[in-house]
Structure 1
């Protein structure tokens, strides 16, 4: 139905930040296409949007063939995908002392390859139509590797690299590319954490920030603002200074009610487990 009724595809929108974003984009006039592994979440989302054009399919972002088939069915129902929000992701504690190749592979497969598969499913059509917008949901954890978040940080840094590389080539072809790096989002695991996690946002607040970045077609957007400047300044320091600061941060958080791994495995809109 584009361009009069643009269609947004959001992966992992059955819950969390993806779900909140779907509601906002529907209000802004988008037809909403949703891919997730959980039927109940997608079905209830559609029920929350009466009168809106919503379609959903069960699909795993790590399954490139299955995802492409789901996208074809969604486009048949709603029209070509104008906006992709590659949001699906997971977080698993990955510590150096019990380093697990299997856990690393699982996180990278969902958070990085899943983004790649999502892009591959919609990009040919965007290039052919000479319009479209690819949005990769990254994280402040992408700015540098974080202890106990080794896999998560690596996967999100990879998302940044994919989006940066695509943007240079696709901008002249009419396809916009955006990278969005949310900070900490309030969940049951983070609600009692203070200190350096003082800039926690509610899910709906985070969704509004992402919608703002999409609406204004921002190339790279980190929020909230205090975390944006903090992380930029941190990465300008020598590595030894960065390590000192991160060590102190981890110690501060680990003395709170929840362990650092529990808190840091849940940044911005990430789903608790499966891809999709």
Structure 2
């Protein structure tokens, strides 16, 4: 008899219990309705419970459970995970979408800014995985998706904190993909370019090829169904960044320095 574990079939999205964090705005909010329309049960989380209830109500779907949580609080996440286990017995997919962005001013360098961004974007992801992983192991074939960014491909001006948190996210998820493969838990990283959200609406610089949150949601769901390792979009933009990242360092930095805001 083969010593290899029999390959588990990927559960159809219509049979999945899905947990989505960061669901009250931006890409997360745009994901709620199309996910709820296609999956069995959708648990949505964010800090703002009232906004979550409004987002769920606006979909007209009745298979949504609101679970307010701060992803930097491990105890809160564990309580949500306990509730999911009690009601559904398992979790098929975690979409760890919640995150934040702050830009660095090197003239007024602030280490506390780095702490805030990394604590949310990296440690919030790690905390979410800690809570969800035992439930993903109860799935026929669990699936973990984490929100990164195309900035992880290439260091860009003022993105020292945000970019560092997303580069670490990529490393974390790739290592998790390697280590979880024997358990047949799939892992994907989501690397958007510029997406129109309340967060990017605060940006004071040009955002080439920016797409809508609903377009981003469509790309993510398509990648989710295929369980693609890297879900990146819009591809014209992300491929340009990937190409620049392959250039010799002096040339690469000359290009990125030309992007600096004067």
Task: Name the counterpart of 2:156.
Answer: 146
Partner residue of 1:234 out of 216, 236, 244: 244
RMSD: 2.3
- Separation in 2, partners of 1:11, 1:46: 13
Q: Alpha-carbon deviations, 1:82-114, whole Å to 9, x = none?
A: 110111001112122222111101100000000
Structure 1 stretch displaced more, 127-136 or 137-146: 127-136
Question: Alpha-carbon deviation of 1:158?
Answer: 0.7
The number of residues matched between the two structures is 251
- Separation in 2, partners of 1:75, 1:49: 25
Q: Alpha-carbon deviations, 1:113-132, whole Å to 9, x = none?
A: 00001111111222344521
Secondary structure at the aligned position of 2:76 is classed as: helix
Q: Alpha-carbon deviations, 1:4-26, whole Å to 9, x = none?
A: 63111111101111011121111
Report if the CA contact (8 A) 2:93-2:136 is conserved.
no
- Separation in 1, partners of 2:72, 2:185: 24
> Which consecutive residues of structure 1, in runs of 5 or more, have no partner in the other structure?
255-276
- 1:13-162 equivalences under 5 Å are 13-129=23-139, 131-162=141-172
Q: Alpha-carbon deviations, 1:190-219, whole Å to 9, x = none?
A: 67x9x9733110110011111111011001
> Which consecutive residues of structure 2, in runs of 5 or more, have no partner in the other structure?
1-10
TM-score relative to the length of structure 2:
0.88
Task: Name the counterpart of 1:208.
Answer: 218
- Separation in 1, partners of 2:92, 2:222: 17
- Separation in 2, partners of 1:88, 1:188: 13
Question: Alpha-carbon deviation of 1:79?
Answer: 4.5
- Separation in 1, partners of 2:198, 2:60: 29
